Chains A and B, each alone.
Chain A
Amino acid sequence: MIFYRELKHYNNCKCKAYFSILMLSLFFFASSVFASAKPLYSFQTRSQSQQFDRITHQLRCLVCQNENLADSQANFASDMRGQIYKMVKNGFSDSEIKNYMVKRYGDFILYNPPFNKMTIFLWSTPILLLLIGIIIFFTMVYRKKP
């Protein structure tokens, strides 16, 4: 409702000014969503920085278990980020760093579950159920009724 009132008197200079201030402040408040309190890690090369981002997005925070290490604000996550930072700077590969974590914390620390014989049903069941559903659908629709 307030916007309708603003729009009606938009031609008025004073209200135009107030309107602009309102929109600008809303924009700045909204963009503060992108600010974060995380310390910024500095890297020698761009590929190291990308590696750090990639790995921290692929590992799970074990305290806030629905978040990855990149986003979580938990102390555990910042400790892990520090460890990953050290390993990236020392030139470890993606798989070496992830294996290091899995060896200590188990498969659950991977944000995406691995594809192996333990998880084969986890990955394939949705597709299988969809296929079964499609098959049932077509057999029901095309069954000849007496």
Chain B
Amino acid sequence: MLNKVSVKYIAPLAIFVAMAILFWRGLSENPTVVPSPLIGKPVPNFSSPSLLFPQKNLTNKIFLGHVSILNVWASWCYSCRAEHPVLMNAKLEDNAIIYGLDYKDKSQAAISWLKKEGNPFQSIINDPKGQLAINFGVYGTPETFLIDKKGIIRYKYIGPISPEVWKDDFLPRIKTLQQL
């Protein structure tokens, strides 16, 4: 039934539709987001001092046994302030276990910042030189990792977390991982 004439008419339309779909999908994505190769891999080994209790040493063992969030932030990072209420809410309302990675920051400035804005973190890893952040593939702040009970990185979000992103991207994943 498909004769030569109708193919000549349908082919350009089909090609156009295919391209339109490709463009629709491609242009709606953020091109500057770099996908992380660490998804599915265990958290890199580390041993760093805690920001608030410098005598205390934090290692990757802190992530074992529960679903955790690791939030890379700094007191100088403007967008981190924007997502801060979302993290506070996540801790209070959803009982989320959130660890912080204080990235290339001055300890005093970070501690004052937390005193002023509130502290959503169970513990904060102090990374003043950004050395640990390199192992996590961090290239800007804020970046947030979702880590399962075995310490495997399951999801990474780049940019400040809005309430919608928390509700739609993080909560469902957290619930799934909690049941594993």
Contacts and interface: CB of A to CB of B under 8 A. Distances in A.
B134 A104 contact: yes
Nearest to B133: A79
A62 interface: yes
Interface residues of B, number: 14
Given A79-B130, A79-B134, A83-B134, A106 B139 contact: no
A63 interface: yes
Interface in A81-126: 83, 102-109
B74 to A, nearest CB: 11
B37 to A, nearest CB: 4
A109 B138 CA distance: 12
A97 to B, nearest CB: 12
B134 to A, nearest CB: 6
Nearest to B44: A104
Most buried by B among A65, A83, A104, A107: A104
Contacts of A103: 37
A54 B136 CA distance: 25
Top 3 nearest A-B pairs by Cβ distance? A62-B139, A106-B37, A104-B137
Interface of A: 62-63, 65, 75-76, 79-80, 83, 102-109
27 contacts: A62-B34, A62-B139, A62-B140, A63-B139, A65-B32, A75-B104, A76-B140, A79-B130, A79-B134, A83-B134, A102-B37, A103-B37, A104-B38, A104-B134, A104-B136, A104-B137, A105-B34, A105-B37, A105-B137, A105-B139, A106-B34, A106-B35, A106-B36, A106-B37, A107-B37, A108-B34, A109-B34
